[in-house]
Chains A and B, each alone.
Chain A
Amino acid sequence: MKLAFYLGCVIPAKLPNYELSARKVFEKLGVELVDMEDFICCGFPFELFNHETWLKMAAYNLALAEKQGLNIVTLCNGCANSLAHANKLLKEDSKKREEVNEFLKKYGLEFKGTIEVKHFIRVLYEDIGLDKIKENITKELSEFKLATHTGCHVVRPSEYMDSFDNPIKPTKLDELVNITKANNINYLTKNLCCGNTSRGLNDNVSIELLRRKMKDLSKHEVDALVTICPACYLQYEMGQLELKTKFKEVYNVPVVHYPQILGLAMGMSAKEVGLDMNKIKPKKIIEAFK
């Protein structure tokens, strides 16, 4: 399987541990990632206050991948949402499509509506499948206690995300964690939004949502919280460091990217999946996979 790899902004700049582990996992599962060249911002942040800018940016990236004849895979909930939403809108709305194509002409691009956009957990779940992934698992993670956080934009609005997962209580990430045999706990605030998007708009809301989740999780003493989105990951990791310095609140909940966990279960070392770059160290896990 060959896919156009849309990196986005935050991951290549700030989260090499996520990118590194995802590339290694895909390689091992026989997926060829073709890095998209000449890409730009997916448009997601503009969806909040300027629809035209959002749609043009998303359309440009979609048309780039269409030119290569490849479906898009991305590691970010926001990119997946923005590109999938625009893809659906432009496939259905011929007037908007014509407008966008008029604009794309000068780059020699056209939106035709021939590709799909998927978050990488959807590729793992639908296109590779749990059985195939299981065949690659060589080390069970049964001695570790994990918790998952799927995030919002990879599942909602469900009509843009093809109802890939339950939009109220998502389960796909849990299924993907469970095949590693880790002790995946249920917790009260599991489906609570991380609050990252409120940063810069209402910081109190952002901090309070973070605090609720951390208070809840710290009771469970998990070895790590598993995320699949750079925004959620940074909210939980950098957010905890902020809670520590600003409010003297210490929770010490290690945060990891799902492909780091899967990589370990597939026989990679802590270093190979970049766990040394996680800022709140999942000590017990690192120790076991030296």
Chain B
Amino acid sequence: MNVEEALKKLDLNMCYQCGTCTGTCPVARVESAFNPRRLIDEARLYGVDHVLNKEELWFCTECFMCMEKCPQKVKITEIILALWEEAVKRGIKIPQKFVGLAKAVASTGISTGAYGGKGTALSGMILKKREKLGLPIPKIKQEVAKDIVESTGVLEILEGKSKEGGE
């Protein structure tokens, strides 16, 4: 399924431009460039390519309030996330935090920078503190996380090396 079809499945075309989303959006209150109503409108009028290049696409804080309140049940937040996935796939924008995250998960099994080293061990300082508090050592299976990251090729996508190239 291409991204246009995916957005239709998320009821992009059901939007009647009432603006409830923008009115309820916490980000729109502090950053006037962000306007989910307009993003939705432009995505269907001018197409996905047009909105994928917009800087403000990345201002959403994923609180899901707009989606919850939408009278037409347009899956607004999920539309935005689908656009993020597409932008990353096409290499239009690759936030460094995603790269760091995928690398951390592949090498430690989890996403916290505070975890270190191979075999998903917690860093010595944290382990000591946990022991002092009587907290058990978490048993994490790093190999599986690495396996999953490799199977989906997400790191290659993030590093612009995916087989599909620009697609």
- Which residues of A come within 8 Å of B, CB atoms? 7-10, 12-14, 16, 19-20, 23, 35, 37-41, 45-53, 56-57, 60, 103, 107, 152-153, 156-158, 167-168, 192-193, 195, 197-202, 204-206, 208-209, 212, 274
Contact = CB atoms under 8 A, between A and B. Distances in A.
A88 B32 CA distance: 35
A14 B112 contact: yes
B141 interface: yes
Interface residues of B, number: 55
Contact of B138 (A35, A47, A152, A197): A35
Interface of B: 26-27, 29-31, 34, 58-59, 61-65, 67-69, 77, 81, 84-85, 88, 95-98, 101-102, 105, 109-112, 114-115, 122-123, 126, 129-130, 133, 135-136, 138-142, 144-145, 148-149, 151-152, 154, 157
Contacts of B141: 38-40
A193 B110 contact: no
A209 B30 contact: yes
B62 A197 contact: yes
Contacts of B58: 201-202
Given A40-B105, A49-B98, A156-B63, A7 B112 contact: no
Given A45-B98, A156-B67, 6 more contacts: A16-B135, A39-B139, A193-B63, A193-B65, A208-B31, A209-B27
23 contacts: A14-B114, A16-B130, A16-B135, A38-B144, A41-B105, A48-B85, A50-B88, A51-B85, A53-B149, A57-B145, A60-B144, A156-B64, A156-B67, A157-B64, A157-B67, A195-B61, A197-B61, A200-B95, A201-B97, A202-B58, A204-B30, A205-B31, A209-B26
Given A45-B111, A156-B63, A168-B68, A12 B144 contact: no
